[in-house]
Amino acid sequence: MSTKSEAIRPVNIVSEEKPKDNGTDEETEDEWEKWRRAGVVAKEALALARPMIEPGTKLLDIINTVENHIRENSSGTSFPCNVSLNNIAAHYTSPLNDETVIEEGDLVTVDCGSHVDGCIADTAFTVALNPDHQDLVKAAQTATKVAIRMMRPGAKLNTIGALIEDTITSAGFQPIKQLTGHQLKEYELHAEKQVPCVSGKSEVLVEEGEVYAIETFASTGSGNISDLPNPTIYQLLPIRVPVRFKGSKQFLGIARKEYKEFPFAERWLAERMKHATLKMAIKELKKNGALFGHNILTEEKGEFVSQHEHTIIVTEKGHEQTT
């Protein structure tokens, strides 16, 4: 799942070396094994989604298939499965009873995340049902591959961003300027460091032992996105606020226990709360600053956006891809 930059997201092991040992062999192996297991589950979930991408399939059916596999085989989702069509760049997950279906010629992106005891995997791909969009799909695939190849201790994130931008523009498209890859930490989907899709002035370096979701976005449009109203994905902020409405207390009780720090779908709460109660709870919690909505992000109508993403662990001399 992408992060929006305010300034303007088979196991492939590049280095055979495992992340540096900072304790006993058993402790280190256990630490990274959870990240690897999360990666396997997320990769499997996307593999289940791929054959479902055809005209007539409901987005909600794909989402349920992906999310159910992740829940059954890991500690849970690290964010709701996103399925984006055409000019939607990120953050669309189905509302309750969504009837949206894939149409002939659509460009379809599936983005999912899992975690094992807070150790996260985040991965995405795009499928073009119109052969004319295959070059757009390939542009994001290639840019992500180029970025991953550069991930090693000491690499400059702005240099990687410049390479992503050059790869996508050389293919005849534009990178999405406001979306970035992102560092992952335990129970933290969007940690401090970002991997931009464009060049910049930041001198932030990649360090050994870090984990990143490397994701790139290629657009047929200008590369600028806008927020749509009415988000379908929310996230609790780490603050305590007084609430008056009984429904808000119910909302918080569910979200804190089951989703913790991770983003969650409004649909999940809608399955357990009355519609009016849920809407009133969201309104109060947003007003109090306890709830953040991840707006659906979109390019101009008529344009198309592709995405490609993998999770990697930075090793002493390179990286290990987990998805």
Confidence of residue 17 (pLDDT cuts 50, 70, 90): very low
132 catalytic residue (yes or no) = no
**Which conformational region is residue 289 in: left (phi greater than 0), alpha (psi within -120 to 50 degrees), or beta?**
left
Determine whether 301 is exposed, middle or buried from the number of CB atoms within 10 Å of its CB (0-12, 13-18, 19+).
exposed
Closest CA to 284 of 233, 250, 257: 250
For residues 48 and 138, state if they share a domain. yes
Q: Can you name the residues that pair with 320 across neighbouring β-strands?
A: 13, 313
Q: What is the pLDDT of residues 188-216, one digit of tens each?
A: 999 999 999 999 888 899 999 999 999 99
Q: Of the residues 91, 115, 133, 190, which is catalytic?
A: 190
Number of structural domains (the chain) is 2
Taking CA atoms, 280 is separated from 22, 126, 268, 276, 291, in Å, by 48, 36, 16, 6, 13
How many angstroms separate the CA atoms of 190 and 228, rounded?
21
Q: What is the pLDDT of residues 88-122, one digit of tens each?
A: 999 999 999 999 999 999 999 999 999 999 999 99
Q: Of the residues 69, 182, 294, 319, which is catalytic?
A: 182
Q: Of the residues 111, 165, 210, 320, which is catalytic?
A: 111
Q: What is the pLDDT of residues 148-163, one digit of tens each?
A: 999 999 999 999 999 9
How many angstroms separate the CA atoms of 8 and 177, rounded?
6
122 catalytic residue (yes or no) = yes
133 catalytic residue (yes or no) = no
309 catalytic residue (yes or no) = yes
For residues 168 and 249, state if they share a domain. no
For residues 125 and 67, state if they share a domain. yes
In the three-class reduction of DSSP (H, G, I as helix; E, B as strand; rest coil), residue 129 is classed as coil
Confidence of residue 31 (pLDDT cuts 50, 70, 90): confident
215 catalytic residue (yes or no) = yes
Please check whether residue 129 is in contact with residue 51, taking contact to mean a CB–CB distance below 8 angstroms.
no
- Domain residues for the domain of 285 are 233-294
The CA-based angle 154-159-164, given to 5 degrees, is 125
Q: What is the CATH number of the domain that holds 71?
A: 3.90.230.10
Please check whether residue 142 is in contact with residue 167, taking contact to mean a CB–CB distance below 8 angstroms.
yes
Q: What is the CATH number of the domain that holds 263?
A: 1.10.10.10
For residues 210 and 284, state if they share a domain. no
- Which residues lie closer than 8 Å to 141 by C-beta, 6 or more apart? 125, 308
Mean of pLDDT values over 31-42: 95
In the three-class reduction of DSSP (H, G, I as helix; E, B as strand; rest coil), residue 253 is classed as helix
Q: Of the residues 309, 310, 319, 320, which is catalytic?
A: 309
61 catalytic residue (yes or no) = no
For residues 28 and 101, state if they share a domain. yes
For residues 129 and 8, state if they share a domain. yes
